[in-house]
């Protein structure tokens, strides 16, 4: 009988520091060819009649993504089914919904069904934190993690105010000494609410423009559904590290193409980036860059096969699409912890 794990079950057992360490390992495994992961299948979905009364800006049909992966070393076999329906925001529903399935690698039997929303948001932020440790400024890089060295204070800019903004704020706060956090999103009410809810020991401010958020920031998170750039190259200071986790379709972009051309660019998966990452796909189509401008995969940096940051003043960019191997490893962590703690409900099929 498969184990059913709800969103609250998943939240109760997922340890964020353990997750970040697991993401670092699986990135290296993927880039070394020790995981099987096809390019995700994406289909447009939804009925136009279902969007009656929904404002046209949010009424585009949604899409369904199917993301399977197999990691023989764990072993773990699973798949995530994810939907993105922009119109859900007008209905009080999450725009991103996900379910993750796990199978026994010896028998093929289904062993777990779990809500994938929290896993998706936290594993994305955990991978961004890994990128900051390997590519970011000295205050958060693993190569500079000397216990006797006082942490360098860093400024974080977050463009967006949804679940990814929240998860990144928490994940980056665990690996960097943040002393100033600025958040901007198009809706004043949303960014103000985010700042109020997240405010604590770390100073966090809702600001009036994306430029105000980005100028002088050491770490920059882009977590939007933008189809046109929201960050201008001229705003980004030398030495900054950008974590771009939105704009996950080939016709979407968050960054000024001049910024892509200027930065030292890393991805989670070359195959995915050259097919789905609009910031890269569109820059290639416009002749702003060539494929060799993508320096490497983050897993190659972790494994020591590709150099990360090579100068303090350079701008590093990590373009993240999210990978099935990340979801499956995170789900495996959740499943193992849930079994130990007797969480969830077994379902007869």
Q: What is the CATH number of the domain that holds 90?
A: 3.30.1780.10
φ, ψ of residue 279 to 5 degrees: the values are -60, -35
Whether residue 25 has pLDDT greater than 90: yes
- Condensed to tens digits (0 to 9), the pLDDT of residues 108-136 reads 999 999 999 999 999 999 999 999 999 99
pLDDT band for position 261 (cuts 50, 70, 90): very high
Residue 185 belongs to some domain of the structure: yes
| H helix runs in the chain, sequence order | 7-13, 16-31, 117-135, 163-173, 188-198, 210-214, 257-262, 270-276, 278-285, 298-302, 324-341
* 145 lies in the same domain as 242: yes
> In the predicted model, what is the mean pLDDT of residues 179-202?
92
pLDDT in tens, 226-239: 889 999 999 999 99
- Please give the average per-residue pLDDT across 228-255, as a whole number: 94
Start-to-end CA distance of the chain, whole Å, equals 7
Question: Is residue 129 domain-resident?
Answer: no
Same structural domain, 81 and 154: no
Does the structure show a pLDDT above 70 at 145? no
Of residues 40 and 201, more confidence is placed in 40
pLDDT-derived band of residue 21, with 50, 70 and 90 as boundaries? very high
- 178 found inside a domain: yes
Which residue, 121, 315, 314, 125, is CA-closest to 231?
315
Query: Where does the pLDDT of residue 217 fall: very low under 50, low under 70, confident under 90, or very high at 90 and above?
Result: very high
Predicted TM-score (pTM) of this structure: 0.91
- Assess whether 95 and 144 both reside in one domain: no
CA distance 244 to 112: 31
Q: At 53, is the secondary structure helix, strand, or coil? A: coil
Q: Is residue 262 in a domain?
A: yes
Residue 335 and residue 318 in one domain: no
Which of 10-19, 36-45, 108-117, 314-323 has the lowest average pLDDT? 36-45
133 in a domain, yes or no? no
- Are 117 and 7 in contact by the 8 Å Cβ rule? The answer is yes
Same domain, 149 and 189: yes
CA distance 122 to 125: 5
CB contact at 8 A, 230 and 210: yes
Question: What is the per-residue pLDDT for 57?
Answer: 40
265 and 167 together in one domain: yes
Query: Could you give the 3-state DSSP secondary structure of residue 269?
Result: coil
Task: Please tell me the total count of domains within the chain.
Answer: 2
Instruction: Determine the structural domain holding residue 75 and report its residue range.
Output: 3-119+325-346
175 and 314 fall within a common domain: yes
CA angle, 135 then 137 then 143, to 5°: 65
- Asked whether the predicted pLDDT for residue 317 surpasses 90, the reply is yes
The burial of 238, by beta-carbon neighbours within 10 Å (0-12 exposed, 13-18 middle, 19 or more buried), is given as exposed
Task: Supply the DSSP symbol for 244.
Answer: E
CATH of the domain at 192: 3.40.50.720
Asked whether residue 191 falls in the same domain as residue 237, the answer is yes
Query: Is there a single domain that holds both residue 283 and residue 330?
Result: no
What is the pLDDT confidence band of residue 47, given thresholds at 50, 70 and 90?
Answer: low
pLDDT of residue 60: 55
Is 16 in the same domain as 160?
Answer: no
- Report residue 248's pLDDT band, with 50, 70 and 90 as the boundaries: confident
Identify the DSSP state of 256: -
Same domain membership, residue 81 and residue 44: yes
125 lies in a domain? no
Q: Is residue 3 over pLDDT 80?
A: yes
């Amino acid at each position: 009988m498969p184990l059913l794990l709800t969103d609250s079950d998943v939240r109760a057992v997922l340890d964020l520091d353990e997750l970040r360490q697991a993401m670092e390992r699986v990135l290296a495994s993927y880039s070394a060819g020790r995981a099987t992961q096809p390019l995700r299948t994406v289909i447009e979905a939804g009925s136009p009649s279902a969007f009656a009364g929904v404002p046209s800006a949010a009424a585009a049909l949604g899409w369904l993504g199917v993301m399977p992966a197999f990691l023989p070393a764990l072993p773990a076999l699973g798949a995530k089914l994810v939907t993105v329906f922009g119109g859900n925001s007008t209905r009080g529903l999450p725009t991103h919904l996900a379910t993750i399935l796990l199978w026994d690698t010896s028998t093929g039997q289904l062993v777990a069904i779990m809500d994938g929303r929290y896993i998706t948001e936290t594993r994305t932020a955990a991978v961004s934190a890994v990128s900051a440790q390997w590519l970011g400024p000295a205050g958060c890089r693993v190569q500079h993690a000397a216990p006797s060295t006082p942490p360098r204070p860093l400024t974080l800019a977050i463009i967006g105010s949804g679940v990814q903004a929240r998860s990144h704020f928490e994940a980056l706060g665990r690996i960097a000494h943040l002393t100033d956090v600025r958040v901007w999103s198009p809706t004043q009410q949303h960014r103000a609410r985010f700042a109020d809810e997240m405010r604590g020991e770390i100073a966090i401010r809702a600001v009036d423009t994306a430029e105000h958020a980005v100028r002088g920031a050491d770490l920059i998170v882009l977590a939007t559904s933008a189809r046109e750039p929201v960050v201008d190259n001229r705003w980004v200071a030398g030495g900054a590290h950008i974590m771009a986790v939105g704009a996950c379709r080939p016709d979407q972009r968050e960054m000024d193409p001049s910024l892509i051309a200027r930065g030292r660019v890393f991805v989670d998966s070359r195959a995915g980036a050259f097919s789905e990452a609009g910031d890269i796909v569109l820059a290639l189509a416009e002749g702003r860059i060539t494929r060799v401008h993508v320096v490497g995969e983050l897993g190659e940096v972790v494994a020591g096969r590709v150099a990360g940051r090579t100068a303090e003043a350079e701008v590093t960019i990590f373009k993240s699409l999210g990978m099935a191997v990340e979801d499956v490893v995170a789900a495996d962590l959740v499943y193992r912890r849930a079994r130990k703690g007797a969480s969830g409900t077994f379902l007869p099929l």
